[in-house]
A and B are shown apart, each in its own frame.
Chain A
């Protein structure tokens, strides 16, 4: 093994890769936020006692969880425009795909959290005359939020990694820039190692925080 690792190339690529990182973050953060909001509504639909809300919710969640994300992203870019007759930019298609995919997973986290609260809490609140929405907001969600935090952190980590799939739609995010540079210079080892390192620096604080939260929750229980 007398491979010469070219650090100079790493340094030269850094500005481009960091521009990619910015786009990755622009995909990541909104997908998480939109996914959480959408997931919450989906969870409510899934838990509704009305079949016309529950069944579409179930179908949506299973469709997104049981098909490859890559196909979902490509589908939003190539297939959806044919159906709705309007172009989506690669970035918009990727964001839409990631956000909708995240909402399906977030919905299951919310649902699990809400269902983890014993029905006695609902009963106690209902007997006071509280409405369903009030019970969720005042009694159920404050208790499940802490329990759901680790699951949401894990999901956020998954989404950060998943966002690299947007490179196949030529969204100029981190992975795309990395692939471009490594084929330009024929130095995949340097470039892709650097790309992986940047992902690691982006994601590791999340896993660290998640572990900390889990530990402190376990200590309190």
Chain B
């Protein structure tokens, strides 16, 4: 594939002597939507976080538009990543966290404006306009002046999505965006994500909402033992998994089905 926006080659990540990711090759093309599933502690977050360098890869490269990020340092495949370059990557690869990570001392509007003003250097008036538009889009037009602490989890997560969207990233990473929400609030967040899918955005989503993954994704990845155990269309991976390991994992979700 030559039209990959983002390409990962030979990615390894270790924390001390804990080898979490063991050689991953992967690429995303524009408008692809990738759902990543796998057991707890299997490295899903770590993989996602290597894509916007919240974690630095131990080995291997991440390339945006064919250009490898960072530069070789020493002969053993290690790389040096200057802060400025990583900040530029993160402007293009946005991220939404399980815990929202909003700034509690700023209003909802200021949360969304922050990146526009400090990172993109926008004038406050223009930033306010853009932030307001993003908040309207996620259905929070009435909450501009509220502080995050006053919002429900679902609302906070929608602010976090608006904050990421405002930066106009080319790729959006979602790390279990609904896992810390009460069940009745999951829907409002998933609806926003589906709306982004309808707009043709490029997204990667780590999730345990297999039903949503099935409808949302163009590609599903089952991550286990630090490698992509099974990759395919939602039908292939979620309905007709070829690997025993994948079947066992999925079986746990249907155990208490009714």
Enumerate chain A interface residues (CB-CB to B < 8 A): 120-121, 123-132, 134, 138-139, 142-143
Contacts of B95 in A (CB 8 A): 127
B103 within 8 Å of A (CB atoms):
yes
Query: Besides A130-B115, A132-B83, 19 other CB < 8 A contacts?
Result: A120-B97, A120-B99, A120-B101, A123-B97, A123-B101, A124-B103, A125-B103, A125-B114, A126-B54, A127-B101, A128-B115, A128-B119, A128-B164, A129-B90, A129-B167, A130-B118, A138-B114, A139-B105, A139-B114
Q: A121-B101, A134-B118, A138-B118 are in contact. Are A127 and B52 (CB under 8 A)?
A: yes
Of B105, B115, B164, B167, the residue contacting A143 (CB under 8 A) is B105
Q: Which 7 A-B pairs have the closest CB atoms?
A: A124-B101, A128-B115, A127-B95, A129-B91, A129-B90, A120-B101, A129-B119
Q: Are A131 and B103 in contact (CB under 8 A)?
A: no
Q: Are B97 and A127 in contact (CB under 8 A)?
A: yes
B160 within 8 Å of A (CB atoms):
yes
CB of B96 to closest CB in A, whole Å? 8
Q: Are A127 and B103 in contact (CB under 8 A)?
A: no
Q: A125-B103, A139-B103, A143-B104 are in contact. Are A130 and B87 (CB under 8 A)?
A: yes
User: Cα distance A125–B99 when bound, in Å?
Assistant: 13
Enumerate chain B interface residues (CB-CB to A < 8 A): 52, 54, 83-84, 87-91, 94-95, 97, 99-105, 114-115, 118-119, 160, 163-164, 167
**Residue of A with least CB distance to B118:** A134
A-B contact count (CB 8 A): 65
Contacts of A143 in B (CB 8 A): 104-105
User: Cα distance A124–B84 when bound, in Å?
Assistant: 17
**Residue of B with least CB distance to A135:** B118
Contacts of A121 in B (CB 8 A): 101, 103-104
User: Cα distance A134–B167 when bound, in Å?
Assistant: 16
Task: List 13 A-B residue pairs with CB atoms under 8 Å apart, sorted by A's residue number.
Answer: A120-B100, A124-B102, A124-B103, A127-B52, A127-B97, A128-B94, A128-B164, A128-B167, A129-B87, A129-B90, A129-B115, A129-B119, A130-B118
Residue among A120, A127, A131, A138 facing the most chain B CB atoms (10 A cut-off): A127
Q: Are B105 and A142 in contact (CB under 8 A)?
A: yes
CB of B232 to closest CB in A, whole Å? 29
Contacts of B89 in A (CB 8 A): 129
**Residue of A with least CB distance to B98:** A120
User: Cα distance A129–B95 when bound, in Å?
Assistant: 10
Contacts of A126 in B (CB 8 A): 54, 90
Q: Are A124 and B54 in contact (CB under 8 A)?
A: no
Contacts of B164 in A (CB 8 A): 127-128
Q: Are B163 and A128 in contact (CB under 8 A)?
A: yes
Contacts of B118 in A (CB 8 A): 130, 134, 138
User: Cα distance A134–B118 when bound, in Å?
Assistant: 7
**Residue of A with least CB distance to B92:** A129
User: Cα distance A42–B163 when bound, in Å?
Assistant: 33
